[in-house]
Each structure stands twice: as structure tokens, then as C-alpha cells.
Amino acid sequence: MINICHMKKNFGELEVLRDINVHIHPGEVVCIIGPSGSGKSTFLRCINQLEKPSGGEILYKGENILDKSYDIRKFREEVGMVFQRFNLFPLLTVRENVCLAPVLTGHKSKAEAVTIAEELLKKVGLSEKADVYPATLSGGQQQRVAIARALAMEPQALLFDEPTSALDPELVGDVLEVMKELAKEGMTMVVVTHEMSFAHEVADRVIFMADGYIVESGTPDQVLEHPGEERTRTFLARFLTTDKTEKYAGLAR
Amino acid sequence: MDAEFYQTIIPMLLSGIRITFFIAVTGILIGIVIGSLCGYILQTEIKPLKAVAEVYIWIIRATPLMVQALYVYFVIPKWLGVDLPANTVGIIVIALNSGAFMSEIVKGALQSVDPGQKEAAASLGLNGAQILFHVVIPPAFKIAMPGLFNQFIISVKDTALLSVITVNEVTHQAQNYAALSFQTIPTYTVLALFYLVVISVLIVLQKWVEKRFCC
């Protein structure tokens, strides 16, 4: 569905991504893990070109979306994104946040968008919050609104950039619950995350990145429980000793 | 105070007030357009336009308004070979002056909008103009409001300086009257009260706008 071939990204001299190859299939949930500075977020942001990749190609529906002639808005309308810091529009109500893009891009009439917003807010458990402003919501609620906002464009796939990293621990569960629900419905998802138990439970594939390379890729069982590479083992061991879920800690060490 | 004083000064001040208002309002409105455009240009990467805006702002900020008025009234018409009426020059000067200061306010406000919101809007497929008008400008407006009102107040008061180029705004009228009648105390007291009232109205308007649009 989205084929990323030999993608590179430099910031000046600094090589953040070196030769990334990932094929994302329809309905697949891909979790990307790795140490900070490994290029995970840059990789995700290069897919919808919030960062312009320095090289390589990304094929979507048979077109290279990195071509100069390709209008990236077309891709962005079909592949949504959820950010670490929610990035809701603070002067719009929750409902207006969800309705803005479908109306402006001409996908929906105002009335249709409002109907869809009601449905989506119900889905993420925030029906009563439609008329409030984002600042009055908790982080977890804001992130669920952000997910509803992305879903309002009826995307083919969603990119999640550490969606629970800015949340208080007790709020993480509600957001992950919504994401699990989406996965169950067959949404194609690429998730940069530190939530190993989520990756283990939901992902079809886990990719471990370090230093701008894909070090290891496979089923959650392969990568998280039987990592083949030394780097993966070191990361998981160091990561999991600080993680409350000690389920995999013993295995990783 | 006798009736004659009032009969003479009131019409003089009223005509002055009309000119003050006309020049201040027109000048500030044009200034808002200039300031919005230049402020927008300053935070883009369009190098040549940015350079033009920077030179303009530098010249205005580095010279006194009175000198700008003298220059536009006496020097520029000589170069162009045309005569510019004093009131027109007054509007041009207030517009150019307030525009330069508003550029900096607008630039700062646009830059202070969280880039994450622009990214979120872009990630939803909105185009540049939609992001600017629906996502960037509303919060930027809120941030710019106090600074812009400050500039409106300064510009209204700056119109008094246009008396040097014979604009018959209210201060110039008061000066004329005081010189003829020697009624300096009442004349200048009325003049000061006039500015107090006008600026107070602006301050009340600012409070209202901030309450209405700024949550």
C-alpha cells in the first residue's frame, strides 16, 4: 500500500535516515521502536513529507509521492497523522477541530461533517465534550480528539508519532484502547511507540530502528522476545528495566 | 470664559477633530494592510521581498515621525515634480509609520503560533492559504491584539506632529487659536481633554475586543 524504497534524510551533515526500506500492506499494524535519536519520528514525518526526504522513493497507489509533480495534499488527505503533542487547534471547539479538514478540503458538507464528528466523538468516548475547547480537556482526551480529527478525513492509513509519550501514565490506557479498536477494524497503522505491551499485543510487525537504519524487523514475537541482533537486545534490556511491564524483561536480558 | 471664546474655538476644534480622525483612521487602516503584508513577508523565506520590507522598516524606525513628515511633504514632491496636499502627506506618513511598527507586531504574532498546529493542519491535507487563514491567523490575531492597539493609540497621538507640515488637525487648530486669542489655558486644556477622551474610547474598545475574541 505504501512502499518506501531507499529513503534517506539528512539534516545538513547529519544523516538521520540511511536507506530505509519498508513496505506497508493494507490493514497492517506496524510498530516502530528504537532509542531516541534513532530516526523513528523522522521516518514517520518523511512518509507524509512534513520532512522532505533527501532521497529514495515512496510509492503509493502506483505513484511516487516524492515526484515534484505529485500533489502531496492528495496523499495527506488519505493518510492521517496523530502527533505526540496532540496539536489540536486551541481556538476551535472539539467539534470544530474534527469538522475543519473535511469541510475545507471539500470532502464533506458542513452538515455531513457534523454528523460524522458526532459519530467519531462517540467512538472515542467524548460525545459530551463536543462543544468545549481543547484546553479544558486532559491530555488523554485531547489525544482522542486528535484521533477523531484524523479519522474524519476517512483515511486509508494512519501514522502515529509517539501518541502516548506526552501523557500521564494513567491516561495512556484510554488512548491505546481507541487504537486497539482501530486496529481491530482493519485500519492500516504505522505507530512509533515506546509501549512495548501495545506493540506486542496489536502489531503485525515490529521494526527496530537505530542510527537511521532498520536493524531488525519481524513479528512482535520475533523482535521483542527473540531478537536476533545484539543492538535490539541491548535496547530492550535497557528499556524494559525502566518499564513497569516486566513481562519481557527477563527474556530480553 | 465668554461666549465669544466658545463660538470661535468650538468650530475650529471641530474642524480639527474631523481632520485628526480622518487622517488617523485612514492612515491606520492603510497601516494595518502594510503591516499585515510586511509582517507576513518577514516570517517567510522570500528573500527579495523580505529585504525590501526590512529596509522599509529600518528607515521608518530609525527616523523621527516629524522628519518623515517634513521629508514626504517638502522633498519627495520635488523629486516627483508633483504637489502633495498636506492632508494626503499626513495620511501617507501615518500609514508608513504605523505600518512599519505593526509589521514587527504581526511578524512576532505569526511566529508565535505553535508550529505543531501548522503541521497538524498540513497533515490533514489543507493547503497553504487554508492553514494561514483557519489555523495560523486566529491565534496570531489574539496575540497581536494588545500590541496593535498600542500602535493605534500611538498613531492617533502622532497626528499632532503633522502640525509641522500645516495639516490643520486639532492640535494645529488649537495652536492657531491660542496664538490669536492668548487663551492658552482653556484652549490647551480642551485640547488635552479631547485626546484623553479619544484615547480612552480606544482603550475601552481594546478591552472589549480582548474580551470578545480572546477567551
Domain boundaries, chain B: 3-213
Mean per-residue pLDDT of chain B:
92
- pLDDT of B214 reads 59
Rounded CA-CA distance A43/A39 in Å is: 6
Query: Residues A24-50: what's their mean pLDDT?
Result: 93
The string of pLDDT tens digits covering residues A48-62 is 999 999 999 999 998
Rounded CA-CA distance B49/B42 in Å is: 8
Residue type, A140: G
**Which chain B residues are within 8 Å of A90, Cβ to Cβ?**
117, 139
Residues 78-137 in B contacting A (C-alpha not used; CB under 8 Å):
114, 116-117, 119-127, 130, 134-135
**Which chain A residues are within 8 Å of B119, Cβ to Cβ?**
50, 83, 87
The string of pLDDT tens digits covering residues A79-118 is 999 999 999 999 999 999 999 999 999 999 999 999 999 9
User: Which residue, among A1, A81, A87, has the nearest Cα to A41 in the 3D structure?
Assistant: A81
C-alpha distance from residue B31 to each of A228, B26, B144, B203 (Å)? 66, 8, 14, 19
- pLDDT of B212 reads 83
Q: Do B122 and A76 touch (CB under 8 A)?
A: yes
The string of pLDDT tens digits covering residues A190-249 is 999 999 999 999 999 999 999 999 999 999 999 999 898 989 999 998 766 555 554 554
- pLDDT of B111 reads 95
- pLDDT of A240 reads 60
Residues of chain B with pLDDT under 70: 1-2, 214-215
- pLDDT of B43 reads 93
* B3-213 CATH fold: MetI-like fold (1.10.3720)
Q: Chain A interface, mutation test: which of B112, B117, B124, most A Cβ atoms within 10 Å?
A: B124
Intra-chain end-to-end CA distance of chain A, in Å? 36
- pLDDT of A250 reads 46
